[in-house]
Amino acid sequence: MNSEKVVFGFFIVLALTLNFGFFLGGMTEINHHSVFELYAAIVVSLIATILKFGDSSHLGAVFLSTSLVADLQLVAAAIVWGVAEHTTKAGVTPDVTSIIVSLSGGALLANITSVILLIAETLSVRR
């Protein structure tokens, strides 16, 4: 068993599950979405991105691009949340919450794409 592949797969799947856990809930209900889960999703996604830098194949480039998209979406969601929470009088309104959740949904799609690519790569290695 290749321990490098295990760690790589672990972080890809963990990024997906944390992102899914944050995304799940009411689109306009901020109390359905944990700020700590968002930050955990960002940290794990960044770790997964760092792990993807070592692969110089075409598939590795696609892995890296999907990870960068997820990072960008999650960081943007955190920035929107932080700006709304700390710089506006209204705070995190339902409109702002829907923006945060939508951005995490985009990251979720990028993470799903990464997992599908991981599965496809795993199936092609066995053949």
pLDDT for position 126? 64
What's the whole-number mean pLDDT along residues 56-75? Answer: 92
Number of H helices, E strands in the chain: 4, 0
Number of domains in the chain: 1
When pLDDT is cut at 50, 70 and 90, the band that residue 52 belongs to is: confident
Domain coverage including residue 78: 3-126
Token output for 78: 């955190």
What is the overall mean pLDDT for the chain?
A: 92
pTM for this prediction: 0.91
Element (H, E) at 35: helix 35-52
Token output for 124: 């092609």
Q: Residue 11: pLDDT above 80?
A: yes
pLDDT in tens, 71-123: 999 999 999 999 999 999 998 999 999 999 999 999 999 999 999 999 998 88
Task: Kindly write down the DSSP assignment for every residue of the chain, as one continuous string.
Answer: --HHHHHHHHHHHHHHHHHHHHH-S-TT-GGGS-HHHHHHHHHHHHHHHHHHTT--SHHHHHHHHHHHHHHHHHHHHHHHHHHHHHH-SS-S-HHHHHHHHHHHHHHHHHHHHHHHHHHHHHHHHH-
Q: How far is CA 107 from CA 20, 88, 126, in A?
A: 9, 25, 29
